[in-house]
A = this chain, B = another copy of it.
Amino acid sequence: MKHINIKDLALELNLSVSTVSKALNDSYEISEETKNRVLETAARLNYVPNPYASSLRGRKSKNIGVVIPEVADSFFSLAINGIESVAKTKGYHVLICLTHESFENERTILKEFQGGRVDGVLLSVSTETTQCDHINDLIANGLPLVFFDRACDEVETAKITTDDFESAYKATTHLIQQKADRIAFLSISKSLSISNKRLEGYLKALEDHDIKADQKYIIDCSNDAEQNYLLIKKLLQQKNKPNGIIASVEKLTTPIYTACKDLEMKVPEELKIVCFSNLEIATILNPSLTTITQPAFEMGKMAATLLFKALENRNFSLVKEDFMIQSALVVRDSSG
């Protein structure tokens, strides 16, 4: 079965290519009768237009690029669903690109996007990203970009974030109220703004409750699960070990619980735990995990909606603006 193009279709119909094209696009220039004939024959011959040919002429790809560190993370997979739900209504496709937390990958991907592969970009930067020239280049090239969750402050565009400062503040205060006074904070990156804001919220809560922050309770985790496990274990073995812990990222849940089990620490009696996490299974952990749950689906949806606003209105441009959606502190047994 040969693939059928618009020329074949026109030939079959004894019409010109342009008429067929207009009929397929429901142009006012074409009579109802002809439109129906064309549509019918197109269906019969199983004609599917080549999107790249359309892109080329129309100078738009009908694709948006979604650049994220990882797909095996419930925040991102839920956000993808949110993004996809709006892209679908707009007739757009979603091109998901993974950086695997590598700056070099991120740069390469954004560079490629400048060739016209996508019409706009949603980005959550990698942990390695400390400078944003590659992002500014993209924008200078005319591609609208909206950050979601992990943003770069130096870039003049909109971002959808959650109240990282406040939720870390809330979580810390919650632990303090639960009588924890040596609270550790597990960070994922020194450069990521969300990580820093969460850290600041944590520090502010300590300060407001007259607890002195201690550098030894602030741990920089890496992208390596085994190494994180060792770091956490070490943290929990030192003298004056923490009796509270706040993990700023979901993937630390497993090493934390594993370390507690291996060290036979009682949760929440000896150690109270809060994680930034969207894991559905938080409820069935034992003890069930207190989480700060981000509105992942909503954030994806909102980011995409904003991006489309920029794509559809040529005179609407994305300015530096922070759309903040609240996360929820869901108290469960691990901090009881």
Contact = CB atoms under 8 A, between A and B. Distances in A.
Given A3-B116, A48-B115, 4 more contacts: A71-B81, A93-B95, A279-B281, A284-B285
Contacts of A49: 115
- Nearest 9 CB-CB pairings of A with B: A286-B286, A257-B284, A48-B115, A72-B77, A52-B52, A48-B114, A50-B116, A52-B55, A71-B77
Q: How large is the interface on A (under 10, 10 to 19, 20 to 34, 35 or more residues)?
A: 35 or more
A22 interface: no
Interface stretch (A136-144, A164-172, A210-218, A308-316): A136-144
Interface string A78-109: 10110010000000011111100000000000
A140 B116 CA distance: 31
A161 to B, nearest CB: 21
A74 interface: yes
A110 B279 CA distance: 31
Interface of A: 1, 3, 46, 48-53, 55-56, 61, 71-72, 74, 77-78, 80-81, 84, 93-98, 111-112, 114-117, 137, 140-142, 253-254, 257-258, 261, 279-281, 283-286
Contacts of A97: 93
A249 B333 CA distance: 27
Given A74-B72, A96-B96, A56 B52 contact: yes
Contacts of A116: 3, 48, 50-52
A213 to B, nearest CB: 29
B285 A286 contact: yes
A111 B48 CA distance: 8
Nearest to A284: B257
Nearest to A49: B115
15 contacts: A1-B140, A46-B137, A48-B111, A48-B114, A51-B116, A52-B116, A72-B81, A77-B77, A84-B98, A253-B284, A257-B281, A281-B281, A284-B285, A285-B285, A286-B286
A85 to B, nearest CB: 10
Contacts of A51: 112, 115-117
A52 B48 contact: no
Contacts of A48: 111-112, 114-116
A74 B284 CA distance: 17
Nearest to A94: B96
B1 A141 contact: yes
A48 B110 CA distance: 11
A305 to B, nearest CB: 19
